[in-house]
Amino acid sequence: MTPAGPRKTAAYIGALAGLGLILAACSSGADPAAYPEDDIDIIVPFSAGGPTDTVTRMIAEPMSQELGVQLVVQNVDGAGGTVGAGQAATAEPDGYTVLMHHIGMSTAPALYDDLAYDPIADFKPVGLVTEVPMTIVGSSDFEPTTFEEFVSHVQENADTVTMAHAGEGSASNLCGLLLMDALGVEVTAVPYDGTGPAMAELVGGQVDFMCDQTTNTTGQIEAGEVKAYAVTTPERIEALPDLPTTAEGGQPGIEVSVWHGLYVPAETPDEVVTELTDALQVALADQTVVDQMADLGTAPVAADQATPEAHATLLQEQTETWGDIIGAGQGG
């Protein structure tokens, strides 16, 4: 075989180098400029039928239409949302795995000593979605009928009252902790794998009460399947105009709402994040989404909040705030 000349050798090496770059690009995910080319998984770190799942499915269809591919909801529940969030954190950073999470992203660092991910360092925020009020509801056979009666009954019978929640770190758990702190009592907490199962048990009368988002309680309240005591917002909400606020019931310290947002792994290209943010903003302006959220006592965030920058700012602020609150409650 005749040895190749210098020019042929250089050309050969250059071709190999170009092939290497192509293979490296293929192995690291799709070209951001061509994104998206395939369906996108949205991990919901809570059970199907719960409030976070409900909000996700509201925006999934209009986002799918805008992106031209299907957004497929994947429920990966467990450990107060940390199992699904951990799975999303280690996913390929190509935009084909998105996480929908709520306020629990900001509380997890203070609640879990062995958290497998850093909510700030391991993710890029895509944008906020909605901020959902909480309601305090009881089983249909729970004795109190008004919020004032509820407060008195819980304070006088704390050793026998049971409170459902969706696991440590869940929104229902945090609201319940805030409620118990305000009332100065501790009741028996009954954790479930998501607020869907918790609500089913509440409707069935297996537990006395729970604190949960309007996206998971409005239907049951309107159907008379549960007793509604109060909403945890400064003002009454349009979807449940007859439901008093906790402040009206003499408990102004019990105010909490649950914000939701989308995330991708930290190394996801900015161009991909922009595509997702743009699709999110289109979805939040969709009249069907607006109407669906209104029916459940909430609304899409303003466009200037459905951005990575606004989302990142809120996450940082809330992580610090809840870290102080939870640390104080744990004696830390």
User: Can you give the pLDDT at residue 330?
Assistant: 55
The Cα–Cα gap between 180 and 150 comes to 12
Q: What is the C-alpha separation between 103 and 63, in angstroms, rounded?
A: 22
Report residue 49's pLDDT band, with 50, 70 and 90 as the boundaries.
confident
Which pLDDT band, with edges at 50, 70 and 90, does 329 fall under? low
Listing DSSP states for 79-142 in one string gives GGGHHHHHHHHTS-SSSSEEEEE-THHHHHHHH-TT-SS-TTTSEEEEEEEEEEEEEEEEETT-
Provide mean pLDDT across the span 116-140: 96
Q: What is the share, in percent, of the chain residues with pLDDT greater than 90?
A: 67
Domains of the chain with CATH codes: 36-132+258-329 (3.40.190.150), 133-231 (3.40.190.10)
pLDDT for position 223:
95
Lowest mean pLDDT among 26-30, 103-107, 162-166, 326-330: 26-30
Q: Cα angle at 31 between 26 and 36, to 5 degrees?
A: 120
Segment 180-197 mean pLDDT: 89
Helix (H) or strand (E) holding 38: none
Predicted local confidence at residue 51, as pLDDT: 84
Query: Using an 8 Å Cβ cutoff, are 136 and 150 in contact?
Result: yes
Q: Can you say how many angstroms the Cα of residue 245 is from the centroid of all Cα atoms in its chain?
A: 23
What's the CA gap between 314 and 301, in Å, rounded? 13
Output the pLDDT for position 78: 84
Write down the pTM of the prediction: 0.76
Buried b (16+ CB within 10 A) or exposed e, 221-255: beeebbbbbbbbbeebbebbeebbbbbebebeebb
**Cis? peptide before 269, omega within 30° of 0:** no
Mean pLDDT of the chain: 88
Work out the end-to-end distance of the chain between its first and last CA atoms, rounded to an integer number of angstroms. Answer: 76
